[in-house]
Amino acid sequence: MPIYVDADACPVKEEIYKVARRVGWDVLVIANSFIRTPMEPRIRFVLVDAGPDIADDWIAERAGQGDVVVTNDIPLAGRSLEKGAEVISPSAKVFTSDMIGAALATRSLMEHLRSVGEITTGPKAFSPRDRSAFLSALDAAINRAKRKIAD
């Protein structure tokens, strides 16, 4: 049962490694450019080709029932949920089948607004409180994934 990390711009990789060590899970860090990862047997970096959605496709093809996916990418979250994975964002948002449709619609609207110049600010800075919330969300996702495997 791995934790898949959509690693480009993921601010909580160290937190993921810490939790994975504690629970004995593998971590797959997927990106299209080199990212330094700990030299540990349970933590593996996967370099994919550059290009739109290649890292997302790699994760979506492999993630499944009982796995955990960490991503900010809403379409990847939807694809992973369809395969039975637990999905959370680095900001501790828990993606569920019940809310993914609305999240995709909001993403589309926000993309449109950005394309016409209506939105020019980015996300707020990541805080220690955000890291703490992520750790709690990751623990909960792992517990949900374990229950899925047990059922």
Residue-wise pLDDT tens digits, 22-49 = 999 999 999 999 999 999 999 999 999 9
Question: Per the structure block, which two tokens stand in for 50?
Answer: 């550059």
User: What is the reported pLDDT for 98?
Assistant: 79
Q: Report the pLDDT averaged over residues 90-107.
A: 77
Does pLDDT of 121 surpass 80? no
Give me the CATH topology for the region 2-150. Answer: Rossmann fold (3.40.50)
Over pLDDT 90: what percentage of the chain? 69
Instruction: Give the confidence band of 89 by pLDDT, cuts at 50, 70, 90.
Output: very high
Between CA 151 and CA 145 the distance in angstroms is 10
DSSP string covering 105-144, please?
Answer: HHHHHHHHHHHTTS----PPPP-HHHHHHHHHHHHHHHHH
List the domain boundaries for the chain: 2-150
User: What is the reported pLDDT for 113?
Assistant: 67
